[in-house]
């Protein structure tokens, strides 16, 4: 089973336009949809749609619309009760796939809530194969909250004489940097290009003087930064670096794999990265090798981007056998 943690969930509303967004004008939408959201919730939704056992953990009142929506969709979830309502995020998609997101701040959490979340995570992840820590942190949660969760889970596993679940982290900024710097064993992180540059800079790594789009288009630059990060974080296993329409790179100390995304008509990129992570984990659960995991990750992300709103694909909509995966050489530091 794969357990996901979403500390800052959201009820995501997507508005689809028939024409490009025009600021300051009145426009009519042809469709509006609403789905439970937040990175970890999206991963669980995608895993559930693919028939993979999962459990989503999050803060939220039992009668919160998001919690009720998860129940209605039969997605296994447990929550730590809080009084404040779960935030709502709004996404506007244009006909060419351009996506504009308006994310509300999360409701503040106090120490009692974060302690209760850690206790629930430790308990429910005891039998999990993977534990996914995903998304931003709400006000009140300390920057090292993910690092604290990892420490608590791994400490309890050691005391109980059992194996801890493999840890995957999909976040950004200070929470991701603190988790990587903690020295705890993390099997996988899933940054995009911007998040990788941000993490590298926070880790004291000299980053290439490239614009974000140029960096993501330069595999050698991405690989070099990823290996610099692995050199500085000995407890970090691999990086799944998603590159949007270009595909993804899977970088470990032993090898580098590249997978190119298929040509699709993008309808919405909301949750595509979350679905990529779900695809990787799904393939890991069924015993695929690293190339198969990367192929499923890219296939899942592409399938999600081809769907409207924040819908997640069924397994039948993904085509990992059509994804070309190739080996790339390690790029040593100083060769950027």
Residues serving a catalytic function are 274
- The DSSP element (H or E) to which 54 belongs, if any, is strand 54-59
264 by Cβ neighbours in 10 Å (0-12 / 13-18 / 19+) ranks as: middle
* Nearest residue to 107 (alpha-carbon basis) of 139, 79, 142: 139
* Cβ–Cβ < 8 Å for 317, 303: yes
Tokens of 199: 């993490």
- The Cα diameter of the chain in Å comes to 62
What are the backbone angles phi and psi of residue 239, rounded to the nearest 5°? -120, 125
- The SS3 assignment for 164 reads coil
Q: Where are the alpha helices (DSSP H) in the chain?
A: 39-49, 65-72, 111-124, 145-160, 173-181, 193-202, 212-216, 219-232, 272-285, 290-305
Note whether 45 and 312 are within 8 A (CB).
Answer: yes
Angle among Cα 48, 132, 206 to the nearest 5 degrees reads: 135
């Amino acid at each position: 089973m794969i357990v996901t943690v979403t500390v800052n969930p959201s009820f995501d509303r997507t508005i689809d336009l028939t024409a490009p967004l025009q600021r300051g004008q009145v426009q009519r939408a042809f469709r509006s949809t609403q789905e439970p959201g937040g990175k970890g919730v999206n991963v669980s939704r995608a895993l559930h749609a693919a028939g993979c056992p999962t459990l989503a953990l999050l803060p939220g009142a039992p009668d919160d619309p998001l919690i009720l929506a998860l129940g209605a969709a039969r997605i296994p979830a447990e929550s730590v009760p809080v009084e404040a309502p779960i935030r709502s995020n709004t996404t506007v998609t244009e006909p060419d796939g351009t996506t504009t997101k308006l994310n509300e701040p999360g409701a503040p959490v106090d120490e009692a809530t974060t302690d209760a979340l850690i206790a629930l995570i430790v308990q429910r992840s005891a039998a999990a194969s993977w534990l996914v820590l995903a998304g931003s942190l709400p006000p009140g949660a300390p920057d090292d909250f993910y690092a604290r969760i990892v420490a608590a889970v791994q400490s309890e596993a050691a005391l109980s004489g059992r194996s801890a679940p493999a840890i995957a982290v999909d976040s950004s900024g200070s929470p991701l940097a603190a988790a990587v710097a903690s020295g705890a064993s993390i099997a996988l992180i899933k940054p995009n290009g911007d998040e990788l540059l941000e993490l590298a800079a926070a880790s004291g790594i000299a980053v290439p003087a490239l614009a974000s789009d140029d960096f993501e288009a330069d595999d050698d630059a991405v690989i070099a930064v990823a290996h610099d990060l692995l050199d500085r974080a000995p407890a970090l296993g691999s990086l799944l670096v998603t590159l949007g329409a270009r595909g993804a790179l899977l970088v470990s100390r032993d090898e580098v794999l590249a997978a190119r995304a298929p040509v699709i008509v993008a309808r919405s990129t909301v949750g595509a990265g979350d679905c990529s992570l779900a695809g990787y984990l799904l393939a890991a659960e069924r015993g695929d090798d690293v190339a198969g995991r990367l192929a499923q990750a890219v296939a899942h992300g592409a399938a999600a981007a081809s769907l409207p709103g924040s819908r997640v694909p069924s397994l039948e909509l993904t085509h990992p056998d059509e994804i070309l995966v190739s080996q790339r050489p390690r790029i040593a530091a100083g060769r950027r």
